[in-house]
A and B are shown apart, each in its own frame.
Chain A
Amino acid sequence: GDSVTQKQGQVTLSEDDFLFINCTYSTTTYPTLFWYVQYPGQGPQLLLKVTTANNKGISRGFEATYDKGTTSFHLQKASVQESDSAVYFCALGVGDNSKLIWGLGTSLVVNP
């Protein structure tokens, strides 16, 4: 069946460090890939959406890249700030299905 794997449970960085969070997916149909960010006390909000048509998304200094060969999509940021501390989720949409398949989330802690 369709699945997504997000292995990094927690990432701790210092300000100005490089961020890289990876997700891998499995599906037999065409994927749409999402990155969401959740701040404390709030619901998740969309950070980036990547499709097979565009392969890459950029928003708020974050970049998401999709690699069909390795069935992975990763989130990166060149220089993190303390305000980026949050939980980041990857999610997989397949075909024209209304449901998303969610990763377990990566808690990012950025120390000043």
Chain B
Amino acid sequence: GGIITQTPKFLIGQEGQKLTLKCQQNFNHDTMYWYRQDSGKGLRLIYYSITENDLQKGDLSEGYDASREKKSSFSLTVTSAQKNEMAVFLCASSIGLGGPYEQYFGPGTRLTVL
């Protein structure tokens, strides 16, 4: 088995602040994902990375940057936090190309912007 670790678990920021969320997986999976989940809503894909040197935009990439530092880690940056924003950011990973495969999720980072 494996695990996905997301840090921090809770993130409180100020309007306009640049905020970085980190994700680590030890599944040795090729593909990693960042999703945003708003209260009572589904999962919206922000960025994903099929392999270590790849980066793909999802449906909600505006206002975010992402970086795949190495196979096991994938970071997400909120470039300018919006006032009163509250959401959960979920990181996931899957085996890789030739899918679709099961995605394994981390516990999430809960963002609050004051």
Interface of A toward B, CB cutoff 8 Å? 6, 9, 32, 34, 41-46, 49, 89, 93-94, 96-100, 102-105, 107
Contacts and interface: CB of A to CB of B under 8 A. Distances in A.
Contact of B102 (A6, A46, A102, A105): A46
Nearest to A93: B100
11 contacts: A41-B107, A42-B107, A43-B90, A43-B92, A89-B43, A93-B101, A94-B100, A98-B94, A99-B48, A105-B40, A107-B40
Given A103-B42, A105-B41, A98 B105 contact: no
Contact of A105 (B42, B90, B97, B106): B42
A53 B41 CA distance: 31
A104 B42 contact: yes
Nearest to B43: A102
Contacts of A107: 40
Contacts of A89: 42-43
Contacts, number: 63
Q: Which secondary structure characterizes the binding site on chain A?
A: loop
B58 to A, nearest CB: 8
A59 B50 CA distance: 29
Contacts of B102: 34, 46, 49
A16 to B, nearest CB: 27
A94 B94 CA distance: 15
Contacts of B42: 6, 89, 102-105
B98 interface: yes
B79 to A, nearest CB: 23
B103 interface: yes
B113 interface: no
